[in-house]
Amino acid sequence: MKATGPETKEKVLLHLCCAPDGTVPWPDLLAEGYAVEGFFYGNNIHPEEEFRRRLDAARILASSLGCPLHVLSYDPQSWIETTRGLAREPEGGARCLLCFRLQLEAAGDLAGSLGFSLLATTLTISPHKDVTAVNAVGREVAARRGLVWLDRIWRKGGGFVRSVAESRRLALYRQKYCGCLYSLRGDEDREKKP
């Protein structure tokens, strides 16, 4: 599934929350002519086995596109310490906003250090994410580093449905919860309800 496009313009670091969510944004950016490299952040993912499964899927996607994938060393304890006190926050609340910020700050730091000019995320493909909040954080993070934020809402125009179909076509692992310990517990609670 190598995506091709016109001559590359600028370098984009694409923050990848998971491989399935990258199946539309990554090829689309390549088709637009950007040189795109992925960045996988997983400190929020629990347990470690889940992190490994998602990372493996991200590597498969990157390889299928012929693109590099940068991976932040797995350090879930730092995420737990940073989000301490927010365990009871509802899904989509203050804890999630902080998590978006942590992920995009890490992506922004890497983009700046590697000489990228553009920063983007796959988070806005999910129908469960507050895309206004994600893009606001992204713009702020990018601006503080002299980067340009690619303000995209990937779920528009059937993007999420396309991502589901494409991840199935590539046989990518599709997770059942956002990633953190608290969203896992929430998913388990929902399964227990009649």
For 12-68, the DSSP string reads EEEEES-HHHHTTHHHHHHHTT-EEEEEE--TT-SSHHHHHHHHHHHHHHHHHHT--
Give the CA dihedral 129, 108, 22, 87, nearest 10 degrees.
-40
| Rounded distance between C-alpha atoms, residue 19 and residue 168, angstroms | 11
Strands across the sheet containing 118-121: 69-71, 35-40, 11-16, 118-121, 148-149
Please name the residues in contact with 167: beta carbons below 8 A apart, sequence gap of 6 or more.
19, 20, 23, 174
Asked whether the bond before 47 is cis by omega within 30 degrees of 0, the reply is yes
Residue list, annotated binding site? 17-18, 96, 99
| Rounded distance between C-alpha atoms, residue 194 and residue 191, angstroms | 8
Domain range 11-192, CATH architecture? 3-Layer(aba) Sandwich (3.40)
164-173 mean pLDDT? 97
| Rounded distance between C-alpha atoms, residue 164 and residue 151, angstroms | 22
Residue list, annotated binding site for [4Fe-4S] cluster? 17-18, 96, 99
The H or E element spanning position 189 is helix 181-192
| Residue with the larger pLDDT of the pair 177 and 155 | 155
| Rounded distance between C-alpha atoms, residue 186 and residue 90, angstroms | 9
Give pTM, 2 decimals.
0.91
pLDDT tens, 60-100?
Answer: 999 999 999 999 999 999 999 999 999 999 989 999 999 99
Q: What pLDDT is attached to residue 19?
A: 98
